Structure 1
Amino acid sequence: MTSRVQKKLLLPNRVRRPPEDGFSWIDRRFLQDYSPRLSRDAILLYFFFTTVSDQLGLSYYGDATIAVRLRLPEQAVA
């Protein structure tokens, strides 16, 4: 018997919707408003999660796997 991981939305009211104009899941405000305040590792994590998340913004990746894929220390992604 195969068990499936049960994912749970932490904040259901924050589920992303596609933008009305343009076609990217990466909000334009990210580059203008948020990225200048973030570290390189935080920006890398943001782009990783926009790539691997499902339609609800959830990912099955654990911290250890993310760290290996992004070549970061595990504590940097925890």
Structure 2
Amino acid sequence: QTNHTGGNCSSIFIHAHSYVHVYLYMRVCGRHLREEDTNLKMGRKQNSRRKTSERALAKEKDDKRTQKKIHQ
């Protein structure tokens, strides 16, 4: 029983210790993580932009096809 409670105490200590580590990690790396996040968002924006431009190109091709049909 005493061993069990001792285990609980140590596990709580380990948890607290890891929380401190996470806190420090977030403090130190938080800025870096935020920068990476913005980079990811920018990348997503660029990807969506690329998709829209591809769609626009496809639409232009379709328009040209329809124009050819009209001319014929």
TM-score category (smaller protein): under 0.3
Higher relative contact order (CA 8 A, sep 6+): 1
Q: TM-score, normalised by structure 2?
A: 0.22
Structure 1 or 2: more helix by fraction: 2
Larger Rg: 2
